[in-house]
A and B are shown apart, each in its own frame.
Chain A
Amino acid sequence: MAAIISADGVDKTFRQLKRQSGLAGGLRSLFSRTYTEIRAVSDITFAIEPGEAVGYLGPNGAGKSTMIKMMTGILTPSAGALSVLGREPHTNRMRNAREIGVVFGQRSQLWWDLPVRDSFALNRHIYDIPEARFADNLAFLTEMLDMGAYLDRPVRQLSLGQRMRAEIALALLHDPKIIFLDEPTIGLDVVAKDAVRKFLARVNRERGTTIILTTHDLVDIEEICPRLIMVDDGKLLFDGELTRLRADLGSRRRLTLEFATDPGPLPLATATLSRDEGAAKHYLLEDEAISLIDVLNEVGRGHGLKDVKLEEPDIEEVIRTFYQNKSRLAGAAS
């Protein structure tokens, strides 16, 4: 299948004004100013197939929002080729707009003083959604996102979680082929985050809507996006399955052995002891090839082993290791 989004060596450079500090600097800036160039996105290449759900991850200022703005046609790339739905997004912004949905986590597209329903109704006209289709979608979204209770309340009275669900519904009313979400879960509590994640995963699964979302929250990616694109400082660091990221990094599974009584020090060849609490001992399994059986064989009988717990590494840890390795590499290089 042809890619629905493809980026080929995309670059974006901004010019930023250098602010001068102090009274003297301020006075000087009345007459002259200096600029710095910021390369917000540099040489990004990827391709996304229809129906994929992709998490776009990176620290603050990594260039995530900038990339979303280019894919939605708001900004023009400084270099490289970008294609969304087979078209160049910037030159075909309005045409693409009909087939995509965009949610900006930090800014609202709803009419602040009017009931939620009114914003939805306006979108029906903006996107020319057929009456019946609109009614169906509204019913489905209201049901799924549990918006029934506040559809007739002015947006300014809604909680952030309620508003965010309304924003997402607004972006999906016209059955977009792709939905872009820039930090959709920012500021939401655990329950609201969970509702949003479950819903997006379901939309992706059942309707086949392609999802691109940026986030700082790794759980978003774990629950919605099988695929992860990681960026830092504008550059692509990793692109692939989440599980592959684990494998690439060597999955450091965590093993806990619990004994009836403290068996004393128990060093193993198959696992590294990370913490010793006497009767409970924690190990890390560095090597993918080593199985639980191998470890248990090494421990052997006679220590009064009571319980065994093996945990897959959580994604936070994977990413943390990833960044640590990267900075270590960068440190070594410089």
Chain B
Amino acid sequence: MLHNITLIPHLVRMYVRTRMEYRGAMFLAWLSQGFSYGAMYATIALIIARFDNLGGWQWPDMALLLAFHLLAYSLGASLSFTQFRDIEEKVRLGTFDAILVKPVGPWTFLVFSGLNIGYGGHVILATGLMAWSLTQVGLAWSPLLVLYFVAALISAAMLTAALMTMIGTTALVWVRSRHLFSIFFGFWELARYPLNIFPAPLQMLMITLAPLAFLAFVPVAVILGKPVPLLGAWAPLASLAAGPLCMLLAVFHWRWCLRNYQGAGG
């Protein structure tokens, strides 16, 4: 365990140096992704500009929701998305086998030897938008609120990482998991709108089986003091528990898949 932790800086350093070999492409990617999210948010702003609000959320509220969504996602995804998306390929090429014969926790190795610094564009856009929206929504800041804000952000990032871990790890047993990622991103896209505008079954789905409501809507609604459907007063607690709980589940799932790993032919 301690060995794993002391190894982390070395693994991260290797990966960062690899990415820096192609830094031009990386900065271009930051720019393009920042642009792309910006354009997407502009379309949402256009809807609200024409219709005043979306389910009772005005543009500054929406901006905070979008910023929280993007920031929590990119923090969690930097620890998980590319790493676990590529497990499928690592299994097929046998590079996952090579990870298993090292005296390191394979999760530690996988996550930190690929700690994705490609989310620069996301983070810059998200923090910028968040800062602007916070000046607009007029929150009554208190130490408790600050604490909640930070904790909810961490929980949401954990949720992202945990879900990605679970999805990607499935490839160890079922060989393929890409399709599960497309389902994830389907719900992930919905998660940037106010939950209350969706039909009840969808709301239910998004706080249970596909718990992406906790990625942004629930915490931001709590911060803004807006009603949370289905959860009501439990919303603050639930949003803080969602990340750690999913993480725990992910740990069990990862262990189970590792035990049942079959490798690939050749």
Contact = CB atoms under 8 A, between A and B. Distances in A.
A106 interface: yes
A282 interface: no
A114 B101 contact: no
B21 interface: yes
Contact of B97 (A69, A108, A114): A69
B261 A75 contact: yes
B17 interface: yes
A128 B3 contact: yes
A272 interface: no
Given A74-B261, A75-B262, A125 B18 contact: no
Interface string B1-22: 0010011001100100110011
Contacts of B11: 122
Given A106-B266, A127-B103, A111 B98 contact: no
B64 to A, nearest CB: 39
Contact of B263 (A74, A95, A113): A74
A93 interface: yes
B263 A118 contact: no
A97 B14 contact: no
A122 B105 CA distance: 15
B101 A72 contact: yes
Contacts of A112: 18
B102 interface: yes
Interface string A1-41: 00000000000001100000000000000000000000000
B94 interface: yes
B103 A118 contact: no
Contacts of A126: 7, 102-104
A153 B103 CA distance: 26
A74 B100 contact: yes
B233 interface: no
Interface string B96-119: 011011111100000000000000
Nearest to A100: B101
A46 B14 CA distance: 41
Given A104-B94, A107-B94, A107-B95, A98 B103 contact: yes
Contact of A73 (B6, B7, B95, B100): B100
B119 to A, nearest CB: 20
A242 interface: no
Interface string B60-85: 00000000000000000000000000
Contacts of B18: 111-114
A66 B262 CA distance: 10
A109 interface: yes
Contacts of A122: 10-11, 14
Interface string A115-135: 000100010011110000000
B97 A104 contact: yes
A181 interface: no
B93 interface: yes
A94 interface: yes
Interface string B157-172: 0000000000000000
A111 B94 contact: no
Nearest to A70: B263
B95 A97 contact: no
Contacts of B3: 128
Looking at A14, A74, A95, the one whose CB has the most chain B CB atoms below 10 A away is: A74
Contacts of A251: none
Given A94-B103, A104-B98, A114 B266 contact: no
A329 B64 CA distance: 77
Nearest to A16: B265
Contacts of B93: 107
Contacts of B265: 14
Contacts of A66: 263
B95 A118 contact: no
B232 to A, nearest CB: 42
B20 to A, nearest CB: 9
Given A107-B94, A112-B18, A126-B102, 5 more contacts: A69-B263, A72-B101, A108-B95, A111-B14, A114-B14
22 contacts: A14-B262, A69-B263, A72-B101, A73-B100, A74-B97, A74-B101, A75-B262, A76-B259, A97-B101, A102-B98, A104-B98, A111-B18, A112-B18, A113-B18, A114-B14, A114-B18, A114-B21, A118-B14, A122-B14, A126-B104, A127-B103, A128-B3
| 4 nearest A-B residue pairs (beta carbon) | A97-B103, A102-B101, A98-B103, A113-B18
Interface of B: 3, 6-7, 10-11, 14, 17-18, 21-22, 93-95, 97-98, 100-105, 259, 261-263, 265-266
